[in-house]
């Protein structure tokens, strides 16, 4: 090596944009932490009421994008993630039950049925004009549950803040006979494969 040769000029490194998760869900926050990236959390102010005759997949995509857009207004320089999940029973959207009685009713309707969990993720950056959304579909087959199994499960786990009244990452896995998906964390609430693809496209370096 020639000692008199000039040292190579280091490549300029573009500062990483702030990453913001537009969600108050602890499940999505825990999933995003798996990527090892610093991020902030902000609550989106979005009306989640379904529109007339709105299909579950369209509802999930619309709300995920609306959440990302709402938080991006607060953080215009940031890359913002929004997400939403809707349980789809034969084209009918099932949301979070909110209480024990509605959870019982949901699980009774879903026993022995295949439910598609429509999980959408959207990424928005106002500063660059980036805006994209993708949908992960998870087909879940519920066992033919007895009333006592439903009651025992709900008393044990109280999944009243989960779409479809079941937490597959916990005891809720015992309610199911099969799961089909191409993005393993989608059922929990945030499809990380699609999330990685979108935030990298928006300019966030992962590796």
129 within domain boundaries? yes
Statement: residue 198 has pLDDT above 60:
yes
Residue 27, in any domain of the structure: yes
Pick the catalytic residue: 53, 84, 88, 161? 84
* Residue numbers of the domain that contains 119: 19-201
- Within a domain: 9: no
Assign 10 to helix, strand or coil. Answer: coil
167-181 mean pLDDT: 94
Asked whether residue 10 is assigned to any structural domain, the reply reads no
At 91, the pLDDT band (50, 70, 90 cuts) reads very high
Position 11 in a domain = no
* Domain harbouring 59, CATH code: 3.90.950.10
Output the pTM of the full model.
Answer: 0.88
Q: Annotated catalytic, 144?
A: no
Instruction: From residue 186, give the alpha-carbon distance in Å to each of 74, 85, 94, 96.
Output: 26, 9, 16, 16
């Amino acid at each position: 090596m020639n000692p008199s040769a000039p040292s190579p000029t280091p490549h300029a490194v573009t500062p990483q944009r702030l990453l913001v998760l537009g969600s108050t869900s602890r499940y999505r926050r825990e999933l995003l932490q798996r990527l090892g990236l610093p991020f902030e959390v902000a609550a989106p102010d979005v009306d989640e009421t379904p529109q007339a005759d709105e299909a579950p997949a369209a509802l999930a995509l619309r709300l995920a994008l609306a959440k990302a857009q709402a938080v991006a207004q607060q953080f215009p320089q940031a890359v913002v993630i929004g997400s939403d999940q809707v349980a789809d029973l034969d084209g009918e959207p099932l949301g979070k039950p909110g209480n024990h009685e509605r959870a019982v009713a949901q699980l009774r309707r879903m026993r022995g049925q295949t439910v598609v969990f429509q999980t959408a993720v959207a990424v928005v950056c106002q500063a660059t004009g980036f805006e994209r959304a993708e949908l992960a579909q998870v087909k879940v087959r519920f066992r033919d549950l007895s009333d006592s199994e439903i009651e025992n499960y709900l008393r044990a786990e109280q999944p009243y803040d989960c779409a479809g009244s079941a937490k597959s990452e916990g005891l809720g896995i015992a309610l199911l006979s099969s799961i089909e998906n191409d993005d393993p964390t989608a059922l929990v609430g945030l499809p990380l494969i699609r999330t990685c693809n979108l935030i990298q496209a928006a300019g966030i370096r992962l590796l």
